[in-house]
Amino acid sequence: MPTPSLRRRLCSMLYESMLLFGVLFISAWLFSTLLQQRHALYLRHALESWLFIVLGLYFIWFWTHGGQTLAMKTWRIRVVGNDGLPVSTLRALARFLLSWLWFIPGLALAWALGAQNWMLIWVPVANIIVWAGLIYLDPQRQFAHDRIAGTRIIDLNPRKKKQ
């Protein structure tokens, strides 16, 4: 099972973020409408928790039902277990939670350093670059969160034979 290039995986993530904007927008609108949220700080933590749950349900459902989100279908990438079988709900949950390591350490470090202005951008971006670069330490070029969760990303593009 070949592994897609880092470029294809990052492009898929970028496309996924655009699709998720709509999912999260509708989810936040439903939350604020149903709970009559009149101010952005009113029920802020409940809204953040709700959006985290929505994200988790989105990814876990798609990964356990075919192994592909909408963006992954477009880029012909699939998540499978290390054995090549479909991902279980528990593995999908582990993968979702571990994927937050792309962001959380950089944001925590920026907060701990009291970062301001551009440092609020560069510290988390450095974390993302380091996390993406870890694939070069893996012999199968898998992300660290996939390795830990027992999943892998496979390339569904047929290989063209060179003549």
pLDDT of residue 158: 67
Place of tokens 């999912």: 23
Residue 41 CA to residue 152 CA, distance in Å, equals: 39
Q: For residues 73-82, give the mean pLDDT.
A: 95
Burial of 28 (0-12, 13-18, 19+ CB in 10 A): middle
pLDDT, one tens digit per residue, over 88-116 is 999 999 999 999 999 999 999 999 998 88
Q: Which of 110, 117, 87 is nearest to 99 (CA)?
A: 87
pLDDT of residue 42: 85
Q: For residues 63-85, give the mean pLDDT.
A: 95
pLDDT, one tens digit per residue, over 125-137 is 999 999 999 999 9
Enumerate the domain spans of the chain: 6-155
Q: How far is CA 140 from CA 26, 41, 42, in A?
A: 38, 45, 46
